[in-house]
Structure 1
């Protein structure tokens, strides 16, 4: 952290600590996440992999940005969704741009699949964690190559796993139980979208950082489609929403 000397008129000197640090190449490290995105949900379905996320960017507890795209197409076979610090996600995208460019320069007819990209991201996140300079993100990586569907997750300290459905943030607590109960391997695209929207609606009601503006992306052997932003129909007339403190224990 950077220590700043502050001089006052009475001759006293106080020292303040700035919540940032300068790395060796002169760039400023992220010591605390400032602008963040919330949950990303991903799952396999009959023809491929589908991801969903809202487009909110929170500045602390304030929903400051309403059009942040947190799902990106990576190479020929992968989709990446991210929650956490937006600037660190942009840094990760720069790393991936370099990786895909380097792979394309070989011009050998092969291209990186989702498993290779997932392994790369795992090494990057763990490497930065070991330098005590982590990238403050949780990542969902899905893709299809040669008919094989792949879906994995990477945490900010390099923890990683593969599964038929994954979620980050609040979605890991609120959406995964729904997916465990209702997910099937033979879901059609329409059924997969309906299930994802059910999860997104629960998150919208329960997560203060979520906004009613979503994108859904799918990847199959035919390619990638990322939807235009859209909103879900909501109902806020439930009595628990109108009087949330009713029946709460405690004097405060």
Structure 2
């Protein structure tokens, strides 16, 4: 019998991260994600970082399979290194990186071996803010606020009601905290350990993780403003 091994494909993800939520604000881009990593239906890991700076101008957030996200980071590290080797005084902006990711995701989908991630890519270059998303089959778009996973169903309605282009940093953080709190209440894969990052013309900052305050009393659900944090 022929002993040639058959091609193997990932049929379902193993360790996954939940939603990423991102918005444009007055000075740049804000992004938030929790740090949970679910092994199937078991919340196995609670310190998984899913927000990463890319080059000088971009910030990446990922939902889905953690090992595939690590593979994407390897691709991006090679891309940024190759770009820096030109030493021509120019560097890839967020739009170029987003376009690259859409080609990677669509290419892998056409090979029937997709990377099981939904990605959010934001950044600022030459004063222009950019925010886009792409999923595992290459569907992509640009918007003023984006979300992946259940955030696309639960956080986007909040953002449509409350987002505006002149949000300050503090207002933007409070809005993201509100979205992440709703996701924590409704998404069994979410944890209350949150990471928030920003990127402006000066570069990216990933803030230390913190525990999101939760309010389970009935009065907290009657008054949606209860629990707004102003520590930023």
Q: What TM-score, normalized to structure 2?
A: 0.90
In the TM superposition, residue 236 of structure 1 has moved relative to its aligned partner by 2.1
Residue pairs, 1:201-240, within 5 angstroms: 201-238=181-218
| Residues 1:188 and 2:165 are matched in the alignment | no
Residue number in structure 1 paired with 2:31:
51
2:93 corresponds to 1:110:
no
Q: For residues 180-206 of structure 1, what are the alpha-carbon distances to aligned partners after superposition, in whole Å with 9 as ceiling and x for unaligned?
A: 000000000000000000000000000
| Match status 1:155 vs 2:135 | yes
**14, 31, 36: which one pairs with 1:34?**
14
Q: Which residue of 2 aligns with 1:132?
A: 112
Aligned to 1:245: none
Q: Which has the higher contact order (CA 8 A, sep 6+)?
A: 2
- The one of 70, 73, 98 aligned to 1:93: 73
Q: Is the 8 A contact 1:22 1:29 kept in 2?
A: no
Higher radius of gyration, 1 or 2 = 1
Q: What secondary structure, in the 3-state scheme, does the structure 2 residue paired with 1:76 have? A: coil
Q: CA RMSD in A?
A: 1.5
> Secondary structure of 2:172's partner?
helix
- Bigger drift between 159-168 and 224-233 goes to 224-233
In structure 2, the gaps of 5 or more residues are 222-232
Q: CA deviation at 1:30?
A: 2.4
- Unmatched segments (≥5 aa) in structure 1: 1-20, 242-252
Deviation at 1:22, TM superposition (A): 6.7
Checking the alignment, whether the CA contact within 8 Å between 1:50 and 1:216 is kept in structure 2 is yes
Which structure 1 residue ranges, 4+ long, deviate > 6 Å from structure 2? Answer: none
Q: Measure how far apart 1:152 and its partner are.
A: 0.1
